A and B are shown apart, each in its own frame.
Chain A
Amino acid sequence: SQQGEEDPQALSIQEGENATMNCSYKTSINNLQWYRQNSGRGLVHLILIRSNEREKHSGRLRVTLDTSKKSSSLLITASRAADTASYFCATDERNQGAQKLVFGQGTRLTINP
């Protein structure tokens, strides 16, 4: 089944640097979402981008979507230690008549002080 795949699987950068994570998917989508998960906690929704949008911003977050390449990227600018978490993309998939979210395996981001 279709699934967003994040790249890289793990990323370690210095505080203050920018972090970029990518998500690729296989079939057409209506929207793509990004979530953050701190270790041992639930997921927190960050941003939703629709298939007719190319770029969206929320604070230090910038998400792009390229439907021709079936890919999305999440950029976190001026990273902070508190940004250390796993980041997941989620795409919509139709399965047995119901459209549901399918999550990728995530990118583990570590911000070093």
Chain B
Amino acid sequence: DGGITQSPKYLFRKEGQNVTLSCEQNLNHDAMYWYRQDPGQGLRLIYYSQIVNDFQKGDIAEGYSVSREKKESFPLTVTSAQKNPTAFYLCASSMWSGSLTDTQYFGPGTRLTVL
């Protein structure tokens, strides 16, 4: 089956720890995205990548880092510098046609809780 997978589904972090959220896609999409969603809110863009070995900051990149070493994978690290990391994290991908506004396909999400 084609799609996007995220792991783990639930993640608990102690304060001061870095954690990495996994995102893998087999849709052969060039562009990938990370969003953060807080309760009752819309999505806010953290980072995006249009091509392997390149990525750009979104609206709320502080305290987060990413890498794009493979087309299929776009892991997100939530660092200890992120002061309020408890949220629902969504990864998405899309075909690249020169715009980031094409239809996006989302993974099932990772719920991160800081203890």
Within 8 A of B (CB), among A27-42: 30-31, 33, 40-42
Q: Report B-chain residues with C-beta under 8 Å of the C-beta of A100.
A: 45, 48, 58, 100-101
Q: Is the CB of A99 within 8 A of B41?
A: no
A43 at the binding interface (Cβ < 8 Å)? yes
A45 at the binding interface (Cβ < 8 Å)? yes
Residue of B nearest to A108 (CB): B40
Q: How far is the CB of B101 from chain A (nearest CB, A)?
A: 4
Q: Report A-chain residues with C-beta under 8 Å of the C-beta of B85.
A: none
B107 at the binding interface (Cβ < 8 Å)? yes
A33 to B43, CA, bound (A): 14
Choice from A3, A45, A99 contacting B100 with Cβ under 8 Å: A99
* Residue among A31, A45, A105 with the highest chain B CB neighbour number at 10 A: A45
A4 to B35, CA, bound (A): 16
**Main secondary structure on chain A at its contact with chain B?**
strand
Q: Is the CB of B103 within 8 A of A41?
A: no
Q: How far is the CB of B22 from chain A (nearest CB, A)?
A: 14
A1 to B99, CA, bound (A): 18
Within 8 A of A (CB), among B97-115: 99-101, 103-109, 111
Choice from A42, A99, A104 contacting B106 with Cβ under 8 Å: A42
